Amino acid sequence: MSIPFFSLDLNSSEILKVFQSVILPFNKHNSKKKLTQILEERFKNKNISLLPSARIGFYLTLKNLFKEGDELIFSSMSFPLYVKIANQLNLKVRLVDVNIEDLNINYELIEQNINSNTKGIVATHLFGNPCEIDKIKKICEKYKLKLIEDCAQSFDSFHKGIETGNFGDVAIFSTSLLKIPTTLSGGILVTNNVDLNYKVDSWIEKNLNKANIIYDVKLLIKVFLSILNSIPWIYSIISDKIFKTLNNHNPRIYRKILYSGMGMEEIVYNPLERNDLKKYQIEIGIKQIKKNKRMTEKRISHSHFLNKGLFDEQNIRLINCNSNSKGNYQYYVIEVKKNAKNFFNNIFKNGIHVMEEDVWDCTNYGFKIENPNDNFEQTKKSNPNLIRIQNNSYLNKKLINKILLEIKKNLNETGKF
């Protein structure tokens, strides 16, 4: 049996709820209020906006907090579309290299990159591992910079006991199909800026509530296929063979399909690309957040098991959280030191559909950056060799063990090339 890359981990009552609220989409306002209240309790003293994607939250944040010519600091391993959006809004972008341990921005390199144009820092908690966000916050206070946390992967991750999302002026979580918690595409903006919260909510209300039946049907089909595909035995029957054939034909295609959500296909980002959340998406979000602790604990336990089993493998490097943080292991990523591509192809053929994760180096996309001649040594060293391994709460001990054994077997075989 093949192991699919992701799982929505929805139980039958949740799936039923999706279909119920598809058929009865009324009182969306009440569902929205309920989810907002849950999040307000979680992020005390913050204002919450529910979004149809994290990227629209990021776009509206940049549009409202900065003006053309302002400069922003990003980690060189950030979500590429975010750098593209900054370029599109005529903001200047300066990239700062990462720490080798966790591949998050190296805070020690930040101050030397600040100049009179610098107005903000975008701090990404990559793979769910918090960056040194308290130190970055101090730098922001010293230079009067706005701090934006990219929490797309870090719901339920903590730095010095405080959940990510509580440090920045703005924090944006993604609740897309592949994220945890999910609203089957969506996002959450958390801010102490009342004016921004109001502007984001009003913009969405005004611009993203137009009836669009084609969009709605497409979203439903995508959700339906994703639910089916995340169940291993159904995946084995339907998608496994398709993905294997596609992958044999063109190894990049599998990644292209799963990463189509990165928004890099279009030339410019279109803020009107998605409609506001549907009632069924909000209802799923409520359920997901309620069971989030259990899901995180399960992922952490899988990750510890994998870490223990892979600890002494010579050909890989484990990506670890900094010692002040507790990551949520939303992504379990390893660096395969030698022959990463061979490793990927072999393990994929054997039914473990891992993913090449070499998409984070923001110097690779032809963006306009202010410091193109910097060498970004750690980014260049790690990014090409990253592989993302399945890790979700739907997997049981037996499947995780199967993944571990296949990784070990393939690492041995890869070493022979």
Ligand X SMILES: Cc1ncc(COP(=O)(O)O)c(C=O)c1O
If one asks whether residue 388 binds ligand X (CB under 6 A), the answer comes out as no
Q: Which is nearer to ligand X, 48 or 411 (CB)?
A: 48
Shortest separation between residue 187's beta carbon and ligand X, angstroms: 5
Q: Which is nearer to ligand X, 55 or 353 (CB)?
A: 55
Shortest separation between residue 238's beta carbon and ligand X, angstroms: 24
> Please, are residues 26 and 258 in contact by the beta-carbon 8 Å criterion?
no
Shortest separation between residue 148's beta carbon and ligand X, angstroms: 11
For ligand X, what does the binding mask look like between residues 270 and 299, x meaning CB under 6 A?
------------------------------
Footprint (CB under 6 A) of ligand X, residues 26-65: 53-55
Shortest separation between residue 96's beta carbon and ligand X, angstroms: 16
Shortest separation between residue 317's beta carbon and ligand X, angstroms: 21
d(CA 355, CA 142): 40
Q: Which is nearer to ligand X, 176 or 391 (CB)?
A: 176
- Candidates 21, 76, 104, 124; binder of ligand X (CB under 6 A) is 124
Q: Which is nearer to ligand X, 62 or 404 (CB)?
A: 62
- Candidates 251, 261, 309, 384; binder of ligand X (CB under 6 A) is 261
d(CA 114, CA 120): 9
Residues in contact with 280: Cβ distance below 8 Å, sequence separation at least 6, in sequence order: 17, 18, 19, 20, 21, 22, 25, 184
The number of beta carbons lying within 10 Å of the beta carbon of residue 375 is 9
> Please, are residues 321 and 102 in contact by the beta-carbon 8 Å criterion?
yes
If one asks whether residue 150 binds ligand X (CB under 6 A), the answer comes out as yes
If one asks whether residue 163 binds ligand X (CB under 6 A), the answer comes out as no
d(CA 69, CA 226): 41
If one asks whether residue 347 binds ligand X (CB under 6 A), the answer comes out as no
Footprint (CB under 6 A) of ligand X, residues 357-386: none
Q: Which is nearer to ligand X, 146 or 274 (CB)?
A: 274
- Candidates 80, 130, 165, 187; binder of ligand X (CB under 6 A) is 187
If one asks whether residue 319 binds ligand X (CB under 6 A), the answer comes out as no
- Candidates 61, 104, 106, 174; binder of ligand X (CB under 6 A) is 174
Nearest to 47 by CA among 221, 176, 178, 197: 197
Q: Which is nearer to ligand X, 296 or 414 (CB)?
A: 296
Nearest to 403 by CA among 221, 232, 217: 232
Strand partners for 277 = none
- Candidates 148, 152, 219, 395; binder of ligand X (CB under 6 A) is 152
Shortest separation between residue 5's beta carbon and ligand X, angstroms: 13
Burial of 12 (0-12, 13-18, 19+ CB in 10 A): exposed
d(CA 339, CA 356): 12
Of 114-122, 145-153, 244-252, 350-358, the window that binds ligand X (rule: CB under 6 A) is: 145-153
> Please, are residues 291 and 182 in contact by the beta-carbon 8 Å criterion?
no
Q: Residues binding ligand X: what is the number (CB under 6 A)? A: 12
Q: Which is nearer to ligand X, 149 or 201 (CB)?
A: 149
Nearest to 110 by CA among 79, 134, 75, 85: 75
Q: Which is nearer to ligand X, 153 or 193 (CB)?
A: 153
How many residues in total does the chain contain?
A: 417
HSE on the CB side for 347, CA within 13 Å?
31
For ligand X, the binding residues (CB under 6 A) are 53-55, 79, 124, 150, 152-153, 174, 176, 187, 261
